[in-house]
Chain A
Amino acid sequence: MTIIESRGLGKRYRRAWALRDCALAVPGGYVVALVGSNGAGKTTLLHLAVGLARPTAGQITVLGGESAGSADALDRISFVAQDAPLYRNLPVRDMLQVARNLNRRWDQRYARARLADLGIPLRQKVGRLSGGQQAQLALTVALARRPGLLVLDEPLAMLDPLARHDFMALLMGAVAEYGVSVVLSSHVLAELERVADYLILLARGQVQVAGEVEDLLARHRWLTGPAGETDRQAERMCVVRARRAGAESHLLVRVTAPLSPAPPGWESQSVGLEELVLAYLREPGASALPGPAAVRSDSAGAGR
């Protein structure tokens, strides 16, 4: 099942397009990282997926064909918006009760157990909790709804490193425990590298990269060789980014087969997710998209 599928999706705010021609088919069961520069359209895409905004063009469906924002979709998608908005003037206990009363499905035992683990007192007002605790409470509330898809918009932005770690531990615990699909947008690449197994990179309101992380990493290499040969190599290969350091040249290239050998005189190294994302962020013109219509789960997906 695809958890998010879109075709020709576009959203215009007043005059400017925040998102354009967005074609996606994200398979279920992944932790999907949504990355991109500020203003690339991440929040817009997430808001369209959870039904907080309506597309100006094209369409978007979720959870295998439900239209975004429909009753069934709302019932099975939990969304934690940026800054984890909750009712700050309510005590934690009442915040839980509010969430429980707004939903058909609710796992009170799970919510209570998680808050006890996290040491969040039920009598405390939400606004008095630390930023990390508020984020954890928002995540707990989202998970207690037992969603099929959990959507998180910049959940780590306001958190210190320890709180980030705890937040991701709670999230990954839920993924392991009952297999919720997760889509999260974030700027914290190091954190994503540990958890994400699917990547969507947006640039200027369009999809620049989309695919399984493992597959993307297998299809990209760093090549190091003499600077003089750079242009000749660049003609023969798909270069995402070229960087010169003295007599040496570093090329991030997309390869057709994972184990294709480096050209003579060149050294080949594997790529990390963070490096890969940074290279694409620096080169908004380059793209790595799956085949024309839908993402294929086989390994032929990444090159074009």
Chain B
Amino acid sequence: MTALAAPPAAQRPVPWTRLAWVTARQHRVALIGTLALLGALSLYLLIMGLQIRSAYAGVTSCRPAGSAACAETKSLFNAGYYSTAQFMCGLLQAVPVLLGVFLGAPPLARELETGTFRFAWTQGCGPLRWAISKLVPLAAVLTAAAAAFSLLFSWYYHPFFAEGLDGALAPQLFDLRGVAFAASTLAAFAIGAFAGMVIRRTVPAMAASLAAWTGLTLLTVLDLRKHYAAPLTGTGVIPGSPWMVGQWFTGPGGQKVSPSAVLQVVRQAPLSVQEGPNILPWLSQHHYLQWWSYHPQTRFWAFQLIEGGWLLALSAVLIGATLWLVSRRVA
């Protein structure tokens, strides 16, 4: 028997392109599925976007502007396209987590579940390079696709902003535009990858990351986001469809009064006023003012960058932790 073959003098690691081929081959179905889903949704947004534009052109070019016929056109536009768009917004909220989890959890969980990690982690490239070559390209493709999709969504939705139907900071829209959509998709992927490594089984890892992402997103929308900057305050009607985050009343002395106290004042108003839209002017005549805390629309990009930034940092930490766990299992 001969001696063991000596390794060649120049130890070049396995090239990344070859490792990336393995990733593309093994996750072909998931990648095609992701692009197919986004492609189908994009096609829908494209067709609807063009229809909305031609319908909106009809609304803006309607003369005379205040006529009953024009009001009719406008209300048809709102009832038709706008309500469909609202439905789409709700539906699209689920896209980041669906794609992120379905692409993020399996790469590690499936290997650990089926035992093939014993093959993968004993190949010449080594487990760390192997894990990097899995997670980084998949994360990059997914994030880029999500970013492109969210650009298309912004284009699709633009006429409704032009019409002043929504503020840019409205939660269901904020999540789908700018960098937030892509960052949130990446975060779902990173949560999925980490859960896959820790839980070591595909379906439980998917379920856990779905729950974690949903919890994180709810926390962000309901609480975290409004603290990105100190809100402005104002009373009366605030122009420019801002994002209202709080309201309260002050009494005749300028002090804050409880809602129940305001309610007692309201009961003193004539019945016709109590139920009608004139209750606020009536209250202010009696020196009870309604105050708002709000974020103006101009903060859209600042908020986008803050949210995108911390989601990106969270994703980097989770992917780093996942890689560390992979490398810790071996020397």
In the bound complex, CA of A94 to CA of B14 (Å): 18
- Cβ–Cβ contact B1 & A75, under 8 A: no
* Chain A residue, CB-CB nearest to B130: A102
Nearest residue, chain A, Cβ from B114: A85
Give the contact stretch, choosing among B54-62, B95-103, B118-126.
B118-126
Q: Are B330 and A75 closer than 8 Å at their CB atoms?
A: no
CA distance A138 to B115 in the complex (A): 14
Is B9 an interface residue, CB under 8 A from the partner? no
* Residues of chain B contacted by A105 (CB below 8 angstroms): 124
> Which of the segments B15-23, B42-50, B192-200 contacts the partner chain?
B15-23
Q: Is B261 an interface residue (CB 8 A)?
A: no
Alpha-carbon gap, A186 to B4, bound state (A): 24
Assembled-state Cα–Cα distance A179/B330 (Å):
28
Which B residues between 224 and 251 are near A, CB-CB below 8 angstroms? none
Q: Does A260 interact with chain B (Cβ within 8 Å)?
A: no
B-contact bits for A75-90, CB 8 A (1 contact / 0 none): 1111101010111101
Q: Write the nearest CB–CB distance from B11 to chain A, whole angstroms.
A: 7
A87's partner among B2, B116, B122 (CB-CB below 8 A) is B116
Interface size class of A (residues with CB under 8 A): 35 or more
Main secondary structure of the interface of A (DSSP, over half): loop
Contact B118 A53 (CB under 8 A): no
B19 and A101 form a contact (CB under 8 A): yes
CB-based nearest A residue for B123: A102
The CA-CA distance from A210 to B21 in the complex, in Å, is 44
User: Which residues of the partner chain A approach B4 to less than 8 Å between Cβ atoms?
Assistant: 1, 3, 28, 63-64, 76, 148-149, 181
Q: Which of B5, B124, B329 contacts A52 (CB 8 A)?
A: B329
Contact (Cβ within 8 A) A102 B26:
no
Chain A 161-204, CB within 8 Å of chain B: the 1/0 string?
00000000000000100110100000000000000000000000
- Interface contact B115-A179, CB-CB below 8 Å: no
Asked if B122 and A98 make an inter-chain contact with CB atoms under 8 angstroms apart, the answer reads no
A146 touches B5 (CB 8 A): yes
CB-defined contacts of B331 to chain A, threshold 8 Å: 51, 54, 67-70
Question: Smallest distance from the beta carbon of A48 to chain B beta carbons, Å?
Answer: 10
CB atoms of A1 and B18 under 8 A apart: no
Asked if A54 contacts B330 (CB within 8 A), the reply is yes
Contact of B124 among A30, A85, A88, A103 (CB under 8 A): A103
Say yes or no: B1 contacts A85, CB within 8 Å: no
Supposing A71-B13, A85-B118 touch, asked if A94 and B25 sit within 8 A by C-beta, the answer is yes
* Cβ contact within 8 Å between A52 and B118: yes
- Alpha-carbon distance between A83 and B328 when the two chains are bound, in angstroms: 24
Cα(A175)–Cα(B12), bound, Å: 27
Q: How far is the CA of A1 from the CA of B328 in the complex (A)?
A: 28
A272 within 8 A of B: no
Separation of A179 and B5 alpha carbons in the complex (Å): 10
Q: Is B263 an interface residue (CB 8 A)?
A: no
* Pairwise interchain contact A77-B118, C-beta atoms closer than 8 A: no
Inter-chain contacts of A53 with B (CB < 8 A):
329-330
On whether A75 and B25 interact (CB within 8 A), knowing A81-B115, A85-B118, the answer reads no
User: Contact partner of A102 among B118, B125, B329, CB < 8 A?
Assistant: B125
Please, which residues of chain A bring their CB within 8 A of the CB of B12?
104
**Which residues of B117-154 are within 8 A (CB) of A?**
118-126, 130
**A54 and B1 alpha carbons, distance in the complex (Å):** 30
Most buried by A among B21, B124, B329: B124
B residues in contact (CB < 8 Å) with A: 1-5, 7, 11-14, 18-19, 21-22, 25-26, 114-116, 118-126, 130, 328-331
For the complex of A and B, 7 pairs with smallest distance between CB atoms: A69-B331, A148-B4, A81-B118, A29-B1, A103-B124, A102-B123, A179-B2
A-B contact pairs, 29 of them (CB 8 A): A1-B3, A3-B4, A28-B3, A29-B2, A52-B122, A52-B329, A63-B4, A70-B331, A71-B11, A74-B122, A74-B123, A75-B124, A76-B4, A77-B122, A78-B122, A81-B119, A85-B114, A85-B118, A86-B116, A87-B119, A99-B123, A100-B18, A101-B21, A102-B120, A103-B14, A104-B14, A104-B124, A148-B4, A175-B1
* Residues of A participating in the B interface, judged by any CB pair closer than 8 Å: 1, 3, 28-30, 50-54, 63-64, 67-72, 74-79, 81, 83, 85-88, 90, 94, 97-105, 138, 145-146, 148-149, 175, 178-179, 181
Given contacts A74-B125, A178-B2, 4 further A-B contacts (CB under 8 A): A30-B1, A69-B331, A98-B22, A104-B13
